[in-house]
């Protein structure tokens, strides 16, 4: 079987965003940027540390991620990178991240808690218990104030899914209300990263209740397609493809997702549409069949920086795919 590699990525949309964000801080629009702290461990030119961030590009910078400890307190997941211990060891990424506000005083810095790797079960258990919620909320206020963050981004992926319970939908709103009540007197922001998938939205979110508590709702309009499927498609399609008619596939596009959140009661002023700066890759069965829904039994090659089959970062697309392998791209 002949194999060829195909990368499908919304690069045009990404480039438009990169142009727009240079004026974001002055436009009055929200422009929320996430920093994946694990990028500091990537090799060579793939390494991305706090000092590589331009603090004038975004209105809000989100540091990913903190986690949830067994004691129901917010937990620093990489103390060596993020803190400094009593002997002066550690890279102090929290301190350096928040020091970016010295360069751009209007910048807001936010700490994200959760993420895909954290799972859902322990958040479900914490949110269901008033005492555990109180412990979590108090620990969040303490950590945010101690390190100079302006707010918290709740990235529970996802209530009522991945081992959660149906009660998570109501419990998540109660957790957000508890956080908001504690944050408001401290002047802290409360935001959330949420699913773009209709099935998850329907089971996980009481949108009107969330909208009352949250300052920003960031919809993760990406990872809609990838190598877990056996056909090619865009990572983050803006609109549905004519062949997107089966099952949930017709809902896997930004146009539907953002309008669905609005229809359920999310204020436009609080909504932010997520945009990836990486592509999902596939290995084709037949190089001549390389459009949408082409047979793709395997993930694409991994890049030298992200080092995960089926994903190439924008930096890898430009420096690796184009220059070294002359690979076909569909934009």
Choose, from 20, 51, 86, 157, the residue flagged as catalytic.
157
Q: Where are the beta strands (DSSP E) in the chain?
A: 4-8, 32-36, 60-68, 74-76, 108-114, 151-155, 189-195, 216-220, 271-273, 278-284, 298-299, 311-313, 329-330
Q: Buried b / exposed e across 48-81, counting CB within 10 Å, b at 16+?
A: bbbeebebbbbbbbbbbbbbbbeebbbbbbbeeb
Report d(CA 33, CA 23) in Å as an integer: 14
Helix, coil or strand: residue 109: strand
Using omega within 30 degrees of 0 as the cis cutoff, is the peptide bond preceding 130 cis? Answer: no
Report d(CA 56, CA 101) in Å as an integer: 9
Helix, coil or strand: residue 181: helix
Asked if 82 is an active-site residue, the reply is no
Q: In the beta sheet, which residues pair with residue 61? A: 33, 109
Helix, coil or strand: residue 273: strand
Q: Where are the beta strands (DSSP E) in 115-188?
A: 151-155
Q: How far is C-alpha 189 from the geometric centre of its chain's CA atoms?
A: 17
Q: Indicate which residues carry an active-site annotation.
A: 157
């Amino acid at each position: 079987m002949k194999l060829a590699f195909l990368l499908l990525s919304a690069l045009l949309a990404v480039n438009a965003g990169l142009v727009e964000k240079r004026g974001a801080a002055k436009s009055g629009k929200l422009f929320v940027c996430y920093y994946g702290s694990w990028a500091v461990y990537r090799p060579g030119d793939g390494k991305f540390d706090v000092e590589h961030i331009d603090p004038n590009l975004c209105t809000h910078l989100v540091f990913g991620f903190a986690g949830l400890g067994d004691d129901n307190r917010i937990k620093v997941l990489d103390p060596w990178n993020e803190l400094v211990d009593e002997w002066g060891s550690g890279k102090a990424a929290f301190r350096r991240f928040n020091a970016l506000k010295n360069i751009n005083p209007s910048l807001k810095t936010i700490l994200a808690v959760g993420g895909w790797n954290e799972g859902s079960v322990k958040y479900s258990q914490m949110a269901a218990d008033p005492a555990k919620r109180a412990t979590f909320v108090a620990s969040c206020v303490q950590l945010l104030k101690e390190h100079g963050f302006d707010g918290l981004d709740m990235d529970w992926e996802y209530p009522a899914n991945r081992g959660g319970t149906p009660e998570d939908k109501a419990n998540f709103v109660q957790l957000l209300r508890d956080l908001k009540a504690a944050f408001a007197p401290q002047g802290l922001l409360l935001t959330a990263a949420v699913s773009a998938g209709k099935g998850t939205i329907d089971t996980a979110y009481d949108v009107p209740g969330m909208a009352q508590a949250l300052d920003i709702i960031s919809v993760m309009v990406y990872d809609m397609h990838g190598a877990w499927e056996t056909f090619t498609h865009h990572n983050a399609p803006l609109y549905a493809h004519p062949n997107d008619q089966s099952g949930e596939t017709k809902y896997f596009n930004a146009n539907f997702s953002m309008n669905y959140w609005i229809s359920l009661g999310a204020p436009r002023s609080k909504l932010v549409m997520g945009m990836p700066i990486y592509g999902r890759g596939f290995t084709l069965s037949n190089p001549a069949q390389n459009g949408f829904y082409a047979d793709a039994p395997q993930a694409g090659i991994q890049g030298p920086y992200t080092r995960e089959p089926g994903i190439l970062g924008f930096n890898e697309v430009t420096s690796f795919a184009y220059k070294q392998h002359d690979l076909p791209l569909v934009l």
